[in-house]
């Protein structure tokens, strides 16, 4: 692709969750009122050597996560409520808490069923027909603060904050650890 101006265009936000949830199929969460912000957070750690003082002669890359922030203006409130419950490690109902220490992935593959004991990570998909360069965050969840909901007589524009991490049931990966594993890609969930 040659260098040019890049206008992504309007973007639909799709979500997909565990196979026994109300977002078991790819579901339209909604449209954002303005730009969606995708912020990779790289983790680095200095390697210090006494002879170099406080200046590191080498730096280790210690993996990454991604923060996604978007304001929903045209959305499905039932889908959003499901995303909130799943982001609370499978809350039993809207507004109810799960057990303290409940795990998000439960050492299960993506979309695994099991109610409170299933995999609660959400596939967050961003799709634009203008540029046709989708984003899929394989294991995402609403992070703190998950939403900011303005109630009143004006339109409701809900700010949502997502976090995507690399989650896998095989941390060893034949001795390679995280090597070659994905946090995001360009293939939408189906």
Q: Residue 15 contacts by C-beta under 8 Å, 6 or more apart in sequence? A: 23, 26, 27, 29, 79, 83, 122, 123, 124, 125
Token pair for residue 161? Answer: 């904050």
Q: Is residue 139 part of a domain?
A: yes
For residues 175-188, average pLDDT: 96
What pLDDT does residue 88 have? 98
What pLDDT does residue 119 have? 98
Residue 2: pLDDT band (50, 70, 90) is confident
Is the distance from CB of 44 to CB of 64 less than 8 angstroms? no
Structural domain range at position 140: 12-185
Least trusted range by pLDDT, from 2-16, 19-33, 38-52:
2-16
Residue 57 has pLDDT above 90, yes or no: yes
What pLDDT does residue 1 have? 64
Q: Is residue 6 part of a domain?
A: no
Tally the domains of the chain.
Answer: 1
Other CB atoms within 10 A of residue 10 CB: 10
pTM above 0.85, yes or no: yes
State the Cα–Cα distance between residues 167 and 29, nearest whole angstrom: 22
Q: Is residue 5 part of a domain?
A: no
Residue 24 has pLDDT above 70, yes or no: yes
For residues 159-181, average pLDDT: 96
Q: Is residue 190 part of a domain?
A: no
What pLDDT does residue 32 have? 94
What pLDDT does residue 6 have? 85
């Amino acid at each position: 692709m040659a260098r040019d101006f890049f206008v992504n265009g309007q973007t639909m936000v799709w979500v997909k969750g565990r196979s026994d949830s109300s977002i078991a199929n790819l579901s339209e969460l909604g449209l954002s009122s303005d730009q969606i912000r995708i912020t990779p957070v790289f983790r680095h750690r200095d390697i210090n050597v006494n002879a170099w003082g406080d200046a590191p002669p080498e730096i280790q890359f210690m993996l990454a996560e991604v923060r996604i922030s978007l304001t929903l203006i045209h959305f499905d409130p039932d889908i959003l409520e499901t995303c909130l419950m799943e982001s609370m490690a499978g809350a039993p109902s809207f507004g109810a808490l799960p057990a303290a220490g409940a795990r998000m992935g439960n050492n299960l593959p993506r979309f695994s069923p099991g109610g409170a004991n299933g995999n609660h990570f959400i596939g967050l998909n961003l799709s634009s027909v203008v540029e046709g360069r989708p984003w899929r965050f394989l294991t995402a969840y609403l992070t703190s603060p998950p939403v900011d909901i303005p109630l009143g007589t004006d339109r409701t524009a809900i700010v949502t904050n997502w976090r995507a991490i690399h989650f896998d049931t095989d941390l060893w990966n034949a001795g390679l650890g995280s090597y070659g594993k994905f946090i995001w890609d360009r293939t939408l969930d189906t």
